[in-house]
Amino acid sequence: MRLRYLALVFILLAAVGLNNGIFAVESITITGSDTMVILAQRWAEEYMRSEEGISIQVSGGGSGTGIAALINGTTDICSASRPVTQGELKRIREKYGTTGVQVTVAKDGILVYINQKNPVSSITSEQLRKIYTGELTNWNEIGGPDHQIIVYGRENNSGTHYFFKQEILLGDEFSTSVQSLQGTSAVVNAVSHDPYGIGYGGTAYASGVKIVGINDILPTKDNVTSGRYPLARDLYMYLRYRPSGHLKTFVDWVLSTDGQGIVDDIGYYPVR
């Protein structure tokens, strides 16, 4: 009888707790950019540490994957290292009656990585275009060793791949000799172990490789934030609607001093 009484009390307390939100957990999902996944994970960890009752799940897969998830309704926030396309905006409008909400959360520069043993220190946009379209194939054509250039890149659902193609290849197709890798970490790892390799990726991943300037412009903080560096770009969060409730609170925190401090810690550049 006593056990039955205690069980009834527990059920009543649980019901009261649920009605008052005591046991309720608000969940937020973030899907998208592999470039941003370490940043989004840090945001999630720090925010959950300070805010009780919030669960944030972060996954990568590429900006294209995140935008598709946003359109399909399977994520709350898409993280993206490129702007959405007109086609993607059209699909959002057709399905939700809005053009979505774009929030600029950080600044980044796509870096060109080469092996630390490579003597090349700068490269032009045109030389880079020719390397990635297969027109320029030997390092000795740009002041390097007499050896074939081993070219690494990102997979085609990557926002970094898309941005690089638009800005450097000017819409041309990548050479079939480019080795497409999943994530910037994989590109950096490949180039760091390949004396004749070249690759590209975000600022926060540049460890164990040599960074070359583009058109004699190095990706310093001033050059990236001012837009002088040729591959400077913004990093975004996209939502279907103007955020409210716990989503708005989280986005506001990302743009706060604490959230932007994490941007700096990770290796990107704050927008505030």
- Is residue 242 located within the same domain as residue 205? no
Is residue 19 included in any domain, yes or no?
A: no
CATH classification at residue 208? 3.40.190.10
Residue 104's pLDDT is 98
> Measured between alpha carbons, how far is 180 from 183 in angstroms, rounded to an integer?
9
Domain that holds residue 61: 26-107+234-266
Looking at the fold, whether 119 and 225 belong to one and the same domain comes out as yes
* CB 106 within 8 Å of CB 234: yes
The verdict on residue 162 lying in a domain is yes
Which residue type does 110 have?
I
Average pLDDT, the chain: 91
CA atoms lying within 13 Å on the CB side of residue 167: 20
Is the pLDDT assigned to residue 190 strictly greater than 90? yes
Structurally, the chain folds into a number of domains equal to 2
Handedness of CA 90, 95, 101, 106 (dihedral sign): negative
In 3D space, the residue among 259, 264, 268 whose CA is nearest the CA of residue 51 turns out to be 259
Instruction: Give the pLDDT score at 6.
Output: 37
Q: Domain check: are 115 and 175 in the same one?
A: yes
Q: Is the pTM of this model over 0.85?
A: yes
Does a structural domain hold residue 21?
Answer: no
Q: Are residues 138 and 170 in the same domain?
A: yes
Chain segment 73-123, per-residue pLDDT in tens? 999 999 999 999 999 999 999 999 999 999 999 999 999 999 999 999 999
What is the identity of the amino acid at 36?
Answer: M
- The tens digit of pLDDT for each residue in 38-62 reads 999 999 999 999 998 999 999 999 9
- Quick one: 131 and 217 in the same domain? yes
Please report where in the chains the tokens 């320029």 appear, as a residue. Answer: 136
Give pLDDT, residue 24: 59
